[in-house]
Structure 1
Amino acid sequence: MSENGQREDPLIKPNGVDSDDDDTVCLGESFFINDNYELTTFTFGSHVLQLLCLQSASSITGILCSKFCRAVMLTDHNDEVLKILKKNIELHESSENPNPCAALTAEKLEWGNSDQLNQILQKHSEGFDLVLGADICFQQNSVPLLFNTVQQLLCLRGKKQCRFILAYVSRSKMMDVMVTNEAIQHGLKIHEVDGTRCVIANLEGVIYEIIL
């Protein structure tokens, strides 16, 4: 997590998710904190992942997505988090791993950092099918930077060719309004995915689909 309260997103390359698996996700306590970065097992329905734990959801979201996608890029601004992301990529690309992943990479990206974003845009000029964000809205000053970054990523492939899937957890009414308003102000269309609103640890969560 950055000093602005940011957690970054996995980016999925063309030929993205193609699974209809609705299995239940089960996370152990060590997901939330594991200072020793020990291998921890996560069960996602029929899929079992072993990951080095850290305080970023990018590893879990991205590596799970790699089970269904051709290529996935994980991002974070923090060098320590990036180090662990890369260790998890190495772990799942290991010849000893019976279930190898699709192509996985990790890149440094802090929302609003034009140099870092431009490097990604140059490396991946073909764009992405999906940009995923899992519970990444914590501080109000980071939300405009988030949507500025997302807007540029979506523009790579043009209107309706790339989607930003935001798993949003409501912590304040002001943040709820700000997320919607920032999407609109950046020229994006935002709508709630039907049937996704639910209560998570006494907080209301919902999934938004956001497009140009």
Structure 2
Amino acid sequence: MSENKVVFNKPNDTDDDSDDDTVCLGESFFMNDNYELTTFTFGSHVLELLCLQSASTDFDLTGQLVWPGARLLNEYISNNVEILQGCSAVELGSGIGITGILCGRFCREVVLTDHNDEVLKILKKNIALHESSDNPKSCAALSAEKLEWGNSDHLNQILEKHPEGFDLVLGADICFQQNSVPPLFDSVKELLSRRGKERCKFILAYVSRSKMMDVMVTKEAIQHGLQIHEVDGTRSVIANLEGVIYEITLQ
């Protein structure tokens, strides 16, 4: 992770421009890594994972928290485990890994991805925690990989290890920045195309926070040559926000 610095000027009654008038703060100043082991229950499935209870001030570290869309997707998964049985899956924007690790109880293989190096550290810790002798419930091979959406090098490195592609692409609460949606769908289309029409689908747990984003998600899917439809019975209110499960496939 790069060591970006923020410079604040100290109040000073003189015109002295010496270096003593500035304070340089590294990226770690804005970082919270006080992770707590937290229990999550989805149906009959219980997970214990390290996560934050409150966010870092660095917006890029949102993956340290569990967001409403992850809870929505995990409830859907726990009620529909048959769609995962024996599948290979890749999760986009895994954060602490709460969805991918749950999927590991039903899939044969799950690749969990995130773009942020600090988030990848906690993701790998949670995978190791789940795969320990005290947690033998995973039937899948779990791995963590770096993936910045739209980065073909990152995606190619993953696909070199998994040349047949994946049966499922998963994403939970990953659409909240407008500039990230086009590259997200660039990566989704490439992943879906690897397996071909009707052989792979993208399951997206979407939480509505603005009408503009609602429209943008549907628009980008269509512009990328994808079909998007709402899964019946999944629209619900979670954390005072409206959420829904979408299935997205190649046209």
User: Superposed, which structure 2 residues align to 1:1-212 within 5 Å?
Assistant: 35-53=33-51, 54-55=64-65, 58=94, 59-212=97-250
C-alpha change, 1:80 and 1:101, in structure 2 (3 Å) is farther
Aligned partners of 2:172 and 2:204 also within 8 Å = yes
Q: How much has 1:152 moved relative to structure 2?
A: 0.2
2:231 maps to a residue whose letter is: V
SS at match of 1:156: helix
Runs (5+) with no aligned partner, structure 1: 1-33
Gaps in structure 2 of 5+ consecutive residues: 1-31, 52-63, 71-93
Poorly superposed stretches of 4+, deviation over 3 Å: none
Shift of 1:36: 1.4
| Secondary structure of 2:195 counterpart | coil
Larger radius of gyration: 2
CA deviation after TM superposition for structure 1 residue 201, in Å: 2.2
Q: TM-score, normalised by structure 2?
A: 0.68
How many residues align? The count is 179
Identity of aligned residues (%): 83
User: CA separation in 2, counterparts of 1:98 and 1:183?
Assistant: 38
Contact 1:94 1:100 survives alignment (8 Å)? no
Aligned equivalents of 1:48 and 1:86: distance in 2? 19
Encode CA deviations 1:40-97: one digit per residue, 9 max, x unaligned. Answer: 1111121111111132652100011111111101000011111111111111111232
Q: Look up the SS of the partner of 2:134 in the other structure.
A: coil
CA RMSD of aligned residues (A): 1.4
